[in-house]
A and B are shown apart, each in its own frame.
Chain A
């Protein structure tokens, strides 16, 4: 590859990135947000027994606990503070 083409490739890349980035910013945010919601659902399903939603036998949910340890605090906060959610959870 010549220097020129390398440079053109670089410019094209920057250009593409900008356009792509602008368009994908929303999509990325959406994907990340959906992913976070799913994470909360996952924790609810596997560890929700203590909020009165028993689904997975506790012996196996404990097995998964180490992997979601960092998310637990956020999950609990969300479960407990989301107003309409708690209305349902009662």
Chain B
């Protein structure tokens, strides 16, 4: 393809140089083709013989649409492709579980305080919060990553906001948990001192806090491990998507999250244009050239692939195969 954006390290070369890269994330502005790029990468890896799970963390899932088969129920083998499974992370169960936990806590407290308010309204309200689903999604994702059932996990939609918040705030949160743990320890020692039986009691709250800190630590270690993890950012040769990934890359850099590189999607192929093309196409081409220049300046050495605009939507494994061929050219 005729663009002057240099690709030193291609997608294929990057993955060859990072044999331990088990977790690949695809992020970017809406509408740039994250799902298609994640799908193409997963397909390519599966064809290389890696057991691959393509998972969506996007609250508005589109993997089933991409693959033309329902993958919402659980890890589902992709029809006609060996080694490839797909899954739209389902948070309903996690949310239901948290709801029950919260309900119990609140009900107990209401009883404890002798208040005749129904807990259910509070529970419903608490779990309606958008952040609640997002957190559940993130927890499920980390849980999946830790299971290591596959050689490679490919995630459609990098949890940008969550990762950023987690890494930025985990220090503060750890501090709080540490304090809580200390108070709990004191309380336990005191109780054991007063107890006749001197029996060591189970302490569920302490366990919850320890478990929570542990999971956060693991997520942080995984997400910042440059050997295991890579975030790829997808853009179009257009102003707004470029601006968005510039911002993302800046944030991620700040928090030490490994950036795999940039994929430029839906690029018009100049070579395929004959003479005498309509002005619209020529202008579009001119705009693209300007943005490719920006991309070269901003992401020099980090562009991993330039993927053409196809004549149809990237849907189904045949189209994904075409996209993969371009992505790993």
Interface residues of A (CB under 8 A from B): 34, 37-38, 40-41, 44-45, 50-55, 57, 76-77, 80-90
Contacts and interface: CB of A to CB of B under 8 A. Distances in A.
B104 interface: yes
B204 A55 contact: no
A38 B113 CA distance: 6
28 contacts: A34-B114, A37-B115, A41-B113, A45-B122, A50-B176, A51-B105, A51-B205, A52-B101, A52-B102, A52-B105, A54-B102, A54-B132, A55-B126, A77-B183, A80-B183, A80-B187, A81-B187, A81-B190, A85-B109, A85-B112, A86-B187, A88-B108, A88-B109, A89-B204, A89-B208, A90-B203, A90-B204, A90-B205
B205 A86 contact: yes
A38 B199 CA distance: 33
B210 to A, nearest CB: 11
Given A80-B183, A86-B204, A86-B205, A55 B125 contact: yes
A88 B104 contact: yes
Given A81-B187, A82-B112, A89-B204, 7 more contacts: A37-B113, A52-B101, A53-B102, A53-B126, A86-B187, A90-B203, A90-B205
B126 A80 contact: no
Interface of B: 101-102, 104-106, 108-110, 112-115, 122, 125-126, 129, 132, 176, 180, 183-184, 187, 190-191, 203-205, 207-208
Contacts of A88: 104-105, 108-109
What is the interface of chain A mostly: helix, strand, loop, or mixed?
A: helix
Given A50-B176, A76-B183, A90 B207 contact: yes
A53 B112 contact: no
Nearest to A83: B191
Contacts of B125: 55
A41 B126 CA distance: 16
A53 B101 CA distance: 9
Nearest to B176: A50
A50 B212 CA distance: 12
A55 B132 CA distance: 11
